[in-house]
Copies of this chain bind each other. A is one copy, B any other.
Amino acid sequence: MSAHTDRRHVLIVHAQPEPSSLTRSMVNTARDTLERAGHEVMESDLYAMGWKAVYDAGDFPDRMNTERLSFVQESGHAYAGGTQPADVAEEQRKLLRADLVILQFPLWWFGMPAIMKGWIDRVWAQGLAYGHKGAGNRHRYGEGGFQGRRAMLSVTTGGPAADYGPRGINGPLDDLLFPITHGVLFYPGMQVLPTHAVHGAGRMDSVGVQTALHAWKARLGHVFDEAPIPYRPQNGGDFDERRHQLLDEIRPGVVGFAAHLRESA
């Protein structure tokens, strides 16, 4: 009985068409490691699925307003009325079944490949990922349609780790990814784990790959026990409730992403 108590559902979304790529090796290692631990793994292989990346009128076969296209309004209408495209509804179903969502991608121009951004654009529907409970911006950042699940970015970069360090030329990786970790994942209520990064993928030899996969396997061994990034929830007492500004007494004088982290206990 206890063997099944800890069985979790994991969704791995990934964006790399080359089967022998490091990205795909990371996916295969994750699937294998998690399944061996007794978890159920779902996959969204966006390239293999031929995922439609572009969010457009085709996403709304049953328009509430056929004169003027408002993505926000039509998204809410389609989600509430069950008229979303089948591929979008299926991804939402997988997300809602998942206890952990892993987004695995190569960092392209300091963000997601377009096909994965298009997965977010289309699947993060109004009424689900935003406009939760029909209450506008009332429930977000720690609350929302994806509350109760964990999420993690797992990225590979071509360049060296130092370039993404605190004083590296690219800027710190965690800050570069804040629009995703905080803005895409925490916004609709997911608890976001620290990003897993493998640098130097451009020049990695087979020993490097094995080392990276070994580290990834080790990391996956405790993803359900790790503390998430301590982002401040909107309704947790750190923000002015109406104006959504950090209260004066919270990290006085600090601006930018650093102020969005709760100090560790």
Contact = CB atoms under 8 A, between A and B. Distances in A.
Interface of A: 17-18, 20-21, 47, 51, 53-57, 68-70, 72, 108-115, 117-118, 120-121, 124, 137, 141, 158-159, 162-163, 165-172, 175-176, 178-180, 182-184, 202, 234, 239, 243-246, 254-260
Contact of A184 (B70, B110, B255): B110
A180 B159 CA distance: 17
Given A17-B56, A57-B17, A243-B162, A110 B168 contact: no
B176 A17 contact: no
Contacts of A170: 183
Given A72-B202, A114-B121, A245 B55 contact: no
A10 B68 CA distance: 29
A57 B115 CA distance: 14
B121 A109 contact: yes
Contact of A53 (B54, B120, B158, B234): B54
Given A72-B158, A114-B118, A166-B256, 7 more contacts: A17-B56, A21-B69, A55-B113, A109-B120, A114-B120, A167-B254, A169-B245
A112 B179 CA distance: 11
Interchain residue pairs A-B with the least CB separation, the first 10: A114-B118, A110-B183, A110-B179, A166-B255, A169-B244, A114-B117, A167-B246, A18-B69, A53-B53, A53-B114
A163 B244 CA distance: 6
A171 B260 contact: yes
Given A169-B244, A170-B183, A183-B170, A53 B175 contact: no
A257 B109 contact: no
Contact of A255 (B108, B121, B172, B182): B172
B56 A47 contact: yes
Contacts of A137: 159
Contacts of A255: 166-167, 172
A138 to B, nearest CB: 12
Contacts of A21: 69
